[in-house]
Structure 1
Amino acid sequence: MTDQRAEFCAGERPDDVALFLADSYVSDDRLERFGEHVDGGTLIVVDGERGRGAFQAATGTGAMEFAKSAMDLEGLIDADLTDGTCPEAADSDADDHDPQYIFAFAEEQNEDVGGLYAEGDVIHAYAQCTCGTAYSDRWNPASGDDLEGDE
C-alpha cells in the first residue's frame, strides 16, 4: 500500500479524494502513472479538485452528483477502497456485483455533529456496482498500519 493511500485510509488527507477504477470498467495503462495498481483495478489519491475532475473524466458523472445519488442506499465498502458488497447482491443469484468505481473523501472529526463524527475522522465512500446500483458507506478509519493486511 502506498503512503498516500495509507494516509488517506487513516483519515490523514482530508483535502484529497480517492478514486478506485476497476480494470473491467476502465482499461487504460496510463492510470498507473497517477495511482497504484491494486487487485482488480487502479486506486488514485489526489487533491480534491483534481480528483473530482479525474472522476468526471473517467465516469462521465460529477463526483458530488454521484455521491448524492449513492448516499440514499447503504452498502459495505472495504476500508482499503478496492471492493465492496452491493446491497442488491443478497436479492440476486447473479455474480454481477463488483464495484466498477469507488469515490471517497475524508472528513475531519467534528464533535458538534455528534455520532460517528464525534468519534474521529470519517471516511465517506460511494460505489457504483456492475448491476447499476449506487451505494455508500462511511466509517471511522483505522490507522494505515491496520490496513496492510487488506491488500
Structure 2
Amino acid sequence: MTEAREAFLAGERPEDVALFLADSYVSDDRLAEYGDAVEGGVLIVIDGERGRNAFKAATGTGAMEFARLAMEHEGIIDDDLAGGTCPDELEDGDHDTQFVFAFAEEQNEEVGGIYAEGDVVHAYAQCTCGTAYSDRWAVQD
C-alpha cells in the first residue's frame, strides 16, 4: 500500500480524493502507474481538483453530481475503498463495484454525531447493476 493511500485512509489527506476503478470498467494498464494495483482494479489517491477531473474523464459524470445521486441509497463500501456491497444485491443480476469516489473530512466536534468521533471518509460507488450508493465512516485509530 502506498503512503498516499495509507494516509488517505487514515483521514490525513483531506485535500485529496481517492478513486477506485475496476479492471472490468477501465482497461488502461497505465493507471497502475498512478496508484495501487488492488484486487480487481486500481486505487488512486490524487489532489482534489485533479481527482475530480480524472473521475469525470473516467466515468463521464461529475464527481459531486455522482455523489448527490449515490447519497439516495446507502450501501456498504469496503474500508479499503476497493469494492463494496450494493444495497440491491438481493435482486437478480451482477453486483460488482465498477468505481468508487471518496474524500475525507476532518473531525468537527461542533457538528456532532459521526463528525465528533474523528475524521470521516465519504465514499460513493457505482454497481454493475446501475445502482449508485454511498457510505461514510469515522476513521478509527
Fold-level similarity (TM above 0.5): yes
Q: Structure 2: which amino acid aligns with 1:127?
A: A
Aligned to 2:40: 40
User: Which position in structure 2 is the counterpart of 1:146?
Assistant: none
Deviations 1:64-117 (A, max 9, x none): 000010011100000000010000002x143x1111000000000011111000
Percent of residue pairs bearing the same amino acid type: 72
| Number of residue pairs the alignment of both structures matches | 141
Offset at residue 131 of structure 1 (A): 0.2
Give the alignment partner of residue 99 of structure 2, picking from 83, 98, 101. Answer: 101
Deviation at 1:18, TM superposition (A): 0.1
Look up the match of 2:57.
57
**Is residue 2:127 matched to residue 1:124?**
no
Report the Cα offset of residue 36 of structure 1: 1.0
Q: CA RMSD in A?
A: 0.8
Aligned with residue 113 of structure 2, among 104, 108, 115: 115
Q: TM-score, normalised by structure 1?
A: 0.91
**2-structure distance, mates of 1:138, 1:71:** 10
What does 1:76-91 align with in structure 2 at a 5 Å threshold? 76-90=76-90
Task: Name the aligned partner's letter for residue 8 of structure 1.
Answer: F
Q: For the residues of structure 1 that align with 2:140 and 2:8, how far apart are their CA atoms?
A: 10
2:55 aligned counterpart, secondary structure: helix
| Amino acid paired to 2:35 | G
Q: Which amino acid in structure 2 is aligned with residue 23 of structure 1? A: D
**Partner residue, 1:11:** 11
